[in-house]
Amino acid sequence: MSDITEEDSSSSLFSPSDCHSHSLVRDPEYYFEDGNVVILVQNVLFKVIKVHKSRLSKDSSTFEAMFGLPPETERVAEGFDDDNPVVLGDTSGQFRIVNLVRPHEIIKASTPGAGHDWSAFERFCDLAQMVHKYCFRSTEAWVLSTFVQWLKPTRLIPPRISTTATTGLNSNGTATALNRSSEHMAVADKVLLERLRRILELSVLCEETELHNAIVQRLQEELGLPNADLPWFIMLGEHHNIPTLTGTAYYALMVQGQDRWIALTKEGTLSNPQLSKLHYGYYALVSLWEKYRTMPPVIPSCTHYGHNCRQRWQTYWKDLMKDDHIMAKFPADVLGRLEMVLSQLYSYNGIMDMHQECRSLAVSTIKNMLSEAKMNLASNFELSV
Q: Summarize pLDDT for 119-166 with one digit per residue, the tens.
A: 667 777 888 887 787 777 777 888 888 888 878 755 444 433 333 333
**Residue 65 predicted with pLDDT over 60:** no
Note down the domain range covering 75: 16-92
Same-domain check for residues 49 and 183: no
Q: How far apart are CA 363 and CA 357, in angstroms?
A: 10
- In 143-176, which positions are buried (b, 16+ CB within 10 angstroms) versus exposed (e)? bbebbbebbeeeebbeeeeeeeeeeeeeeeeeee
Quick one: what percent of the chain has pLDDT higher than 90?
Answer: 33
Task: Determine the pLDDT at residue 348.
Answer: 62
Of 64, 92, 120, the last residue of a domain is: 92
What mean pLDDT is predicted for residues 339-350?
80
**Per-residue pLDDT tens over the stretch 75-94:** 446 666 777 777 776 666 66
Q: Is residue 3 part of a domain?
A: no
Mean pLDDT of the chain: 74
- Phi/psi region, residue 208 (left: phi>0; alpha: psi -120 to 50; beta: rest), is beta
pLDDT at 254: 97
Q: Are 240 and 198 in contact (CB under 8 A)?
A: no
Residues 146 and 281 in one domain: yes
- Tell me: do 139 and 214 sit in the same domain: yes
pLDDT of residue 185: 44
Which residues have CB under 8 Å from 297's CB, separation 6+?
317, 362, 365, 366, 369
Beta bridge mates, 26: 3, 45
Q: How many domains does the chain have?
A: 3
Residue 361 has a pLDDT of 87
Q: How far apart are CA 2 and CA 24, in angstroms?
A: 8
Do 250 and 344 lie in one domain? The reply is: no
Is the per-residue pLDDT at 61 higher than 60? no
**Could you tell me if 116 and 156 are in contact, meaning their C-beta atoms sit under 8 angstroms apart?**
yes
232 and 307 co-located in one domain:
no
Please report, as a single letter, which amino acid is at residue 166.
T
Q: Where residue 281 falls among pLDDT bands split at 50, 70, 90?
A: very high
Regarding whether 314 and 273 lie in a shared domain, the answer is no
Last residue of a domain, one of 62, 92, 122: 92
Residues 321 and 222 in one domain: no
In a domain, 332, yes or no: yes
Say yes or no to pLDDT of 169 above 50.
Answer: no
> Is residue 109 predicted with pLDDT exceeding 80?
no
